[in-house]
Structure 1
Amino acid sequence: MGRGSSLGSDHCLTFSVLMLNVTIGLLGLTLFCLSVWMRFEGEVRVWISELGMYQYWTGLYILMAASIIIVLISICGCGGTLTANPALLGANLSLTSFTFVLFILGASVLLGKYVQPTMDMEYLEEQFTNIFSMKNHRSDEFLIFLYWKSALLVLIALILELAGGIYMVVHGTENSQLTPWLEGKFNRLIIDSNYNDRALNILQTVQEKVGCCGALSYQDYDRNRLPISDFCRDKISGNVFQDGCVKRFSIFIEKRSGWLSGIALFIAFLQIILVGLTFWHWKRVREVDEEDYPRKGYYDPVPTKTR
């Protein structure tokens, strides 16, 4: 009775870990697609490049790297959870190793160009099948090793996600560190627009597209003894825009970075649960391992029949 209850709880735990890995993997893929779209979206890319706001890309790069690791970990975790299939465990090992290399080098493109397969994949699959088909202590130790590595990688990705999400919140929303930086940038553009055509074009483009005037308000032109630009006026009514470009541009960026940060932090929350469940699963595997294989020194890799 106790054995059946324990088996049922193990199945429930396995299903929970599997579903969490699938959910986190899909969210990681969504986060990666949104980050890539945000990085290469025409209007945002041009404005950030023209304003020289390159520190904003740092948060996107962190989230891109973290999301790639998240997807790989999810595949690794699903394969490790479905232990009945030796091929999935072999894929688990390969993806775990690949994720470590990816995290250390930080460039999947370089890996794709310079790392070439040097082993016979059929031979490798046959060896993994032979290893995992052995009902011995070594295969169980290897399974425990996979779960421990998976939990470690989840913690690494969690740190990256929190760093990327917090960085996006700090540098990508209104009333954040982005605000004083933009204020100084727009004030310089207003001053330089009197004699610099490039600064004038940047300022006119932002003011017309976003619907703003000056850094904090139209009075910035008065303080610098410059006429108010025609691009500061509504084309229909002719009235001057009341909001400054710092506020309007911050809101424009916030609408995009808010979604990215929210998804990243939500994934981080799910991964905290996943770390706990993975550790619990790892502990249960060890308990079963100790019950089936008492510690008696070395183990015979070949099972022997009892007479």
Structure 2
Amino acid sequence: MGVLEDVRYTGVGHSEGATRCITYTLFALNVIFIALGAAMVSLGFWITLDTTFKYWVADLGMEHYWIGVYVLMAAGALVMLQAFFGICGAFQRRIHMLVAFMVMLVLCLCLELAGAGYMLANGIRASSIEPWLQNRFLQLIDAFDRDAPSARIMNIVQEWVGCCGANGALDYVHWHKVIPYTCYNPVTGNAWYIQGHGYMGCVRGFTLYLEKMSGWISGVALFLVFFQLMGLVAAWCLISVKYNYRGEQQSEDDFYRRRK
């Protein structure tokens, strides 16, 4: 008797076909988990190994941003490990493996929601990163003409991102500073301007740059959460299959013992 033929699923139509459907659904979901988990880890490495961005984070003192990235990378690695238990549990119908799969699934869900929430709260427009950057850039502008490291950081950010000041060139005017050459596009000689966004201050410019990375890894994490909820339901159904089968076997054994 084959692996898929020894269990009847009494919860959905009492049919072997329902059992097969749930088993292969769980298998397909775990393949998706592996792909999305690998994508999440890869995006994490892309963000953390970007040399330019890493230097900006260090220079700006923005190390708290890494927390969300590391949490999502850990979740992605755990998702790939969890898929092993899910696939083995689905085809072997071992309750302890399915239970381990569900426990790891819940842990991954918590990590993904926490990591994605942190990234969205600290890495996109209208999040807490904007007032933080506002204060930080104004500090750097204040020290621009008397502190070489502050001037270097502002010049690098302005040149690479294509922005000026915290909110624009007027920040330098208000602080009675000379507007640096990095506030101007070297090709046109005009102030940095982005189509659809207007003249670009570094708070908005840097947040737009940050948003691309934060949005991608958070989007993958939340997309994964959707499929994991389906995985929880499928795993629970297979555990029910096993318990139903055990109960029926026990009833049959008791019946035959009484007849003897």
For this structure pair, what is the TM-score category when the shorter chain's length is used for normalisation?
A: 0.7 to 0.9
Q: CA deviation at 1:293?
A: 2.4
| Match of residue 246, structure 1, among 185, 199, 203 | 203
- 1:70 deviates by 0.2
Instruction: Give the one of 54, 66, 78 matched to 2:87.
Output: 78
Q: Secondary structure at the match of 1:195?
A: coil
CA distance in 2, matches of 1:161, 1:219: 41
| Match for residue 17 of structure 2 among 8, 32, 49 | 8
Counterpart-to-counterpart distance in 1, 2:50 and 2:188: 31
Assess if the C-alpha contact under 8 Å between 2:112 and 2:221 holds in 1: yes
Per-residue deviation at 1:16?
Answer: 0.3
Matching of residues 159-198 of structure 1 within 5 Å? 159-198=110-149
Q: Which residue of 1 aligns with 2:76?
A: 67
Distance 2:252 2:168 in 1: 76
- Tell me the distance in 1 between the aligned counterparts of 2:37 and 2:154: 36
State the shift of 1:30 in Å: 1.2
Q: What TM-score, normalized to structure 2?
A: 0.87
Deviation at 1:292, TM superposition (A): 1.2
Whose relative contact order is higher, 1 or 2, with alpha carbons under 8 Å and at least 6 apart?
2
Structure 2, unpaired ranges of 5+: 1-7, 193-198, 255-259
C-alpha distance in 2 between matches for 1:237 and 1:81: 62
Distance between the aligned counterparts of 1:224 and 1:161, measured in 2? 43
User: How far does residue 287 in structure 1 lie from its aligned partner after superposition?
Assistant: 0.5
Give yes or no for contact 2:125–2:211 (8 Å, CA) kept in 1: yes
Alignment: residue pair count: 238
Please give the per-residue CA displacement for 1:234-292, whole angstroms capped at 9, x wherever unaligned: 11222223210000000001011111000000001110111011111111111011111
Match of residue 34 from structure 1: 43
Aligned to 2:159, which of 208, 233, 249?
208
Whichever residue aligns with residue 132 of structure 2, its letter is W
**RMSD value, Cα:** 1.8
Q: 1:155 aligned to 2:106?
A: yes
The residue identity in structure 1 corresponding to 2:151 is: L
C-alpha deviation, 1:151, in angstroms: 0.9
C-alpha distance in 1, partners of 2:103/2:227? 15
Contact conserved, 1:17 with 1:274, CA < 8 A, in 2? Answer: yes
Runs ≥4 residues deviating over 2 A: 293-297
Q: Secondary structure at the match of 1:45?
A: helix
Q: Note the C-alpha offset of 1:296.
A: 8.4
Q: Match of 2:243, SS?
A: helix
The answer on whether the counterparts of 1:50 and 1:202 sit within 8 Å (CA) in structure 2 is yes
TM-score by length of 1: 0.74
The equivalences for 1:1-307 within 5 A come to 6-83=15-92, 143-241=94-192, 242-294=199-251
Percentage of identical aligned residues? 32
CA contact (8 A) 2:85 2:98 kept: no
Tell me the CA shift for residue 38 of structure 1: 0.8
Query: Equivalents in 2 of 1:210, 1:35: separation in Å?
Result: 21
CA distance in 1, matches of 2:251, 2:75: 40
Work out whether residues 25 and 75 of structure 1, in 8 Å CA contact, stay in contact via their aligned partners in 2.
no
Q: Which moved more, 1:284-293 or 1:202-211?
A: 284-293
Task: Give deviations 1:65-116, integer Å, cap 9, x for gaps.
Answer: 1011100000111111121xxxxxxxxxxxxxxxxxxxxxxxxxxxxxxxxx
Unaligned residue ranges in structure 1 (runs of 5+): 84-139, 298-306
Q: Secondary structure at the match of 2:140?
A: helix
What's the counterpart of residue 113 of structure 1?
A: none
- State how far apart, in whole Å, the 1-side matches of 2:148 and 2:184 are: 20
The CA distance in 2 between the partners of 1:23 and 1:7, in whole Å, is: 25
Question: What is the Cα deviation at residue 25 of structure 1?
Answer: 1.1
